[in-house]
């Protein structure tokens, strides 16, 4: 097929330099004819509309952009500001060819004093999310990738602030590693293997680069939420180096399609077995979402599915809890008498004698923790999966505009410390279900004092979960609310004879 050669020139608003545009099904990249590097990169969540210039995408879809707040990719000559300025001011002529599902661009630098003639080559798959770059670098030069505020996620209040930062990362066979933090010296002189990617990422979007030869990596965060990484050849010899850039969502399908090792960006803080559990829960959620086409309903069905799968374990845990309650009711009168009549070592010895007389270990109460401990790994895995799930971003449900943010039923007259500027209804619904289930599940056989103590513990736990989850994304709170709702339905079903008699 005959390739068509053409020169594309696009005047950037407010800028003197011109760009060429590489436009595909999922991304749009502008390469500057001054500097010869990408200066704008917009990535679409799924497929970009035909009229991509008119797309009203959220700001964090812009991975690179000229102007304040935009991310940048520049040549850098460490320790030589004049050389850095000269190489980034080079003017290029460009030829763009399109064919066989790809578009290529060849940029040839105009002669300039003191700077060698450079040729930069780009190739983009029209349906992919990567850009292949074959760059000529002068000796001692490297690439600097800096995040802008576009990459920084929305600032969330309270504990959910953990989702509100951007950071510099390295991704390899061992997963994701954060390599620079605000207020620290960063990472200098770390060797980056050929198989490793380095770049910047926010909660849902990332821009990463990988080279075909070993690089030295410098990573810093010179300002809050503005991480940057610099790659330079390990031998500082310059020459021709092939780079691959990935720009797009932190989503499993897109990452694996680019390179299987990039899957390590997902759930990177979790212990390996919990990561596998998160992937399993994500698979269930994705299947439900694909089937019904609605993220909120898919979360409800995920919760129900997990509840059904865990039913045998939960039933065992509840049987153990019933045993503990029975033993407590049996021992409490004698133990209360011991506490009233004896003190110190004598009270301890008589307490042990009570346990021996009934054939009970004084560690028996630990069985009551089983139900809680069984659910902890699933809670942690679901918590992380729902917090990082790209498919929930921008998805609404009922009054919730975005399942990746707090539910925000109403604005408050003024922001409150920790709680933010909105009233969130869903955490209160979750707590109500918890309290109702706890009250209706109380065992009548328990002594009044034990029943009161158990009630206070359950109320304290409900209050702790309310405080923990109040500011977290609605998708996570919806999952836990659904868990409590299914449990409440089960309690009502099991208590229906008693409820009928009471009515």
Q: Where are the domains of the chain?
A: 7-266, 274-502
Give the pLDDT band of residue 96 (cuts 50, 70, 90). Answer: very high
Q: In what order do the strands lie in the sheet with 72-76?
A: 72-76, 142-146, 228-233, 215-220, 187-192
Nearest to 255 by CA among 305, 212, 207, 215: 207
A 10 A CB-CB count for 312 gives 9
Give the residue with greater pLDDT, 60 vs 73. 73
H/E run at residue 73:
strand 72-76
Over residues 468-476, mean pLDDT: 92
Q: pLDDT tens digits, residue range 335-380?
A: 677 677 777 777 767 676 766 777 676 666 666 676 667 778 988 9
**Tokens 């690179």 belong to which residue?**
64
Residue 370, pLDDT score: 67
CB atoms within 10 A of CB 298: 25
| pLDDT at residue 310, as a whole number | 83
Q: What is the rounded average pLDDT of the residues 471-489?
A: 92
Residue 250 has pLDDT above 80, yes or no: yes
pLDDT digits (tens, 9 = 90+) for 390-448: 999 989 999 999 999 999 999 999 988 888 889 999 999 999 988 888 777 666 555 56
Query: What's the pLDDT tens digit per position in 38-64?
Result: 999 999 888 776 554 444 444 347 899
Question: CA–CA separation, 424 vs 474, rounded Å?
Answer: 9
Say how many C-beta atoms besides its own lie within 10 A of residue 409's C-beta: 14
Tell me the pLDDT band of 450, cut-offs 50, 70 and 90. Answer: low
Sheet with 175-180, edge to edge strand ranges = 4-6, 92-99, 102-109, 119-125, 130-137, 239-249, 205-211, 197-201, 167-172, 175-180
pLDDT at 469 over 80: yes
pTM score, whole prediction: 0.83
Tokens of 422: 């909105």
Residue among 149, 158, 176, 223 nearest 388 (CA) = 176
Which of the four pLDDT bands, split at 50, 70 and 90, describes residue 6?
Answer: very low
Percent of the chain with pLDDT over 90: 41
Instruction: Quote the pLDDT of residue 368.
Output: 65
Can you tell me the distance from the alpha carbon of 208 to that of 248, in angstroms, rounded to the nearest whole number? 9
Which CATH class name applies to 7-266?
A: mainly beta
Which residue did the predictor score with more confidence, 499 or 129? 129
Predicted local distance difference test score (pLDDT) of residue 446: 57
Task: Report, as an integer, the average pLDDT of 274-295.
Answer: 94
């Amino acid at each position: 097929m005959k390739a068509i050669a053409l020169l594309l020139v696009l005047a950037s608003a407010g800028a003197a330099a011109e760009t060429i545009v590489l436009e595909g099904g999922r991304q749009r990249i502008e390469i500057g004819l001054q500097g010869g590097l990408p200066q704008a990169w917009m990535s679409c969540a799924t497929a970009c509309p035909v009229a991509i210039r008119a797309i009203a995408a959220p700001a964090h879809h812009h991975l690179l952009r000229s102007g304040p707040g935009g991310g940048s990719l520049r040549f850098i000559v460490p320790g030589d500001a004049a050389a850095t300025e000269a190489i980034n001011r080079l003017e290029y002529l460009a030829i763009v060819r399109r064919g066989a599902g790809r578009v290529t661009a060849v940029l040839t630098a105009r002669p300039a004093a003191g700077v060698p003639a450079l040729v930069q080559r780009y190739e983009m798959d029209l349906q992919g999310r990567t850009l292949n770059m074959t760059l000529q670098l002068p000796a001692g030069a490297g690439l600097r990738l800096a995040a802008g505020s576009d990459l920084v996620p929305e600032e969330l209040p309270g504990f959910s602030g953990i989702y509100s930062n951007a950071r510099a990362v390295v991704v390899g066979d061992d997963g994701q590693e954060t390599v620079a933090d605000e207020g620290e010296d960063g990472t200098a002189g770390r060797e980056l293997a050929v198989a490793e990617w380095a770049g910047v990422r926010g909660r849902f979007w990332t821009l990463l680069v990988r080279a075909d030869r070993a690089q030295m990596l410098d990573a810093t965060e010179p300002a809050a939420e503005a991480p940057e990484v610099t790659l330079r050849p390990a031998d500082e010899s310059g020459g021709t180096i092939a780079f691959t850039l990935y720009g797009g969502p932190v989503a499993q399908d897109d990452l694996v399609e680019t390179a299987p090792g990039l899957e390590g960006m997902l759930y990177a803080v979790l212990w390996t077995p919990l990561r596998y559990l998160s992937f399993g829960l994500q698979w269930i959620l994705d299947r439900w979402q694909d089937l019904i086409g609605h993220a909120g309903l898919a979360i409800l069905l995920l919760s129900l599915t997990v509840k059904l799968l865990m039913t045998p374990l939960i039933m065992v845990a509840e049987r153990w809890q019933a045993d503990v309650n029975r033993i407590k009711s049996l021992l409490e009168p004698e133990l209360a008498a011991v506490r009233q009549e004896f003190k110190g070592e004598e009270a301890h010895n008589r307490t042990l004698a009570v346990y021996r007389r009934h054939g009970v270990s004084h560690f028996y109460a630990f069985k009551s923790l089983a139900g809680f401990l069984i659910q902890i790994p699933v809670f942690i895995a679901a918590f992380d999966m729902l917090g990082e799930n790209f498919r929930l971003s921008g998805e609404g449900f009922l009054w919730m505009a975005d399942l990746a943010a707090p539910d925000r039923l109403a604005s408050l007259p003024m922001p409150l410390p920790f709680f933010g500027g909105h009233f969130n209804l869903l955490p209160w619904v979750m707590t109500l279900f918890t309290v109702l289930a706890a009250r209706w599940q109380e065992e009548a056989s328990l002594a009044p004092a034990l029943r009161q103590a158990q009630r206070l513990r359950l109320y304290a736990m409900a209050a702790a979960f309310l405080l923990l989850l109040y500011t977290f994304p609605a998708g996570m709170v919806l999952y836990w609310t659904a868990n409590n709702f299914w449990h409440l339905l089960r309690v009502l079903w099991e208590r229906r004879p008693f409820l009928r008699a009471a009515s």
